[in-house]
Amino acid sequence: MQIYIVKIFRLILFILIFSASTKFLMAAELNDAKEFERWCDDFVAEYTKGQNAPIAIVIVKDAQLFFQKGYGFVDEKQAVPVNPEQTIFRAASVSKLITTTAVMKLVEQGKLDLNADINTYLKDFQIKSKFQKPITVADLLTHTSGLEERMFGNVAPAGTSPSLKEVFSRKVPREIRPAGEEIVYSNLGMALVGYIVEAVSDQKFEDFVEREIFKPLKMNHSSFLQPYPSNLANSVVPSGADDVALLHYPAGSMISTASDMGKFLLMQSNGGEPVLREETIREMQQRHFTQHPQMPGVAYGFFEHFANGRHILFHTGASGHQSLLCLLPDEKVGFYIALSATQGGKFREFRKQFLQAFLNRYFPSKEENPPTFANNNVQLEGIY
């Protein structure tokens, strides 16, 4: 019985390690855009296997645009190809990185203190706390606010433009656990950050973002507006999801192109220019909370991940479309992926598989002899 269990365990390990095709695992330097394009073309072709899957990818390296390309068709019947500069996808929760950037801009302007009680900035309502420690803006940015998360009643009919003031005044968020103690992913918390941007700047959230982030970066195909701006609406890839307005829209309503998100990546990897100062970018990207020192933590807006010995800052999004933004600060590399996942199935795994294949090829493990289980079978034997 024990031998059988060990064999099964070894088989599972083999499948996990070698599930990706070996032609995507051979190491190479990320310095030739044409070579990368060939690799990327092969990876996408292997994954899609002839199915139409609208995908857009952008890579930045050493504070410069390295690669951008679209795959598949926005409209297969009319043969409209995906264009990384013009085809618009829902960024979904990657929107939170823009919202975080807006708050950091207010910090730079001396209008907001990340360590202040959020009630200092809540003009239209107050959050009553039953715990000793107040909720801070930093708690909101690290998903440690202790606020409830509402699963229902978060949308409005299509064509409406929800007001953050009305949304939060009508139903004030409740604190259900002490702030600063536990990471619990919170759309509501990041939407509250958007409200604070409005309250402090005396501008609508989407107007502040447009003026302070999108325009300086020339992100001309990006918006938080609901409904979509008329000049962008026809370029949005159909998602298969119901067309509704998000009440907590700073947490997930942004639309953008791969090219525009490449400009955001360049800002994040190039010392913040022309939006933020370098010290602000460093503060945004450093770890501010972790459940344990040996576990990945959270920065402001970003989550941490470690793979192949590399430190990665990332955020994902999923709302009809799927997105992934990754930064490798030490390697001065970043990428953004957006795709329509209406096909379901394996396409929902595309982002994860692309990230690991990308790392394996261009940033393989720094360990010359990675640990294996070959000599430790006795520690693994048993009934599972």
pLDDT in the model for residue 77: 83
Q: Is residue 86 over pLDDT 70?
A: yes
pLDDT-derived band of residue 240, with 50, 70 and 90 as boundaries? Answer: low
Q: Ramachandran region of residue 271, left (φ > 0), alpha (ψ -120 to 50) or beta?
A: left
**CA dist., res. 49 & res. 347, Å (int):** 11
- Looking at the domain assignment, is residue 370 inside a domain? no
In the predicted model, what is the mean pLDDT of residues 69-81?
91
- Looking at the domain assignment, is residue 372 inside a domain? no
- Chain centroid offset of residue 383 CA: 39
- Looking at the domain assignment, is residue 384 inside a domain? no
- Looking at the domain assignment, is residue 265 inside a domain? yes
pLDDT in tens, 342-383: 655 566 789 999 999 999 999 998 765 544 444 444 444 444
Please report, as a single letter, which amino acid is at residue 119.
Answer: N
**CA dist., res. 220 & res. 256, Å (int):** 9
pLDDT in the model for residue 97: 99
- Looking at the domain assignment, is residue 16 inside a domain? no
Q: Is residue 154 over pLDDT 90?
A: no
**Is the pTM for the entire model greater than 0.85?**
yes
Q: Is residue 78 over pLDDT 60?
A: yes
- Looking at the domain assignment, is residue 117 inside a domain? yes
Q: By the 8 A CB rule, do 147 and 135 touch?
A: yes
- Looking at the domain assignment, is residue 14 inside a domain? no
Tokens of 16: 């996990």
In the predicted model, what is the mean pLDDT of residues 290-319?
96
Q: What domain range is 112 assigned to?
A: 28-363
Q: How many domains does the chain have?
A: 1
Range scoring the smallest mean pLDDT among 55-69, 188-202, 361-375: 361-375
- Looking at the domain assignment, is residue 2 inside a domain? no
**CA dist., res. 172 & res. 328, Å (int):** 38
Tokens of 50: 């002839």
The CATH number of the domain holding residue 114 is 3.40.710.10
Counts of helices then strands in the chain (DSSP H, E): 13, 12
Percentage with pLDDT > 90 across the chain: 74
DSSP 72-138: SEEETTTTEE--TTT-BEE-GGGHHHHHHHHHHHHHHTTS--TTSBGGGT-SS-----SSSSPPBHH
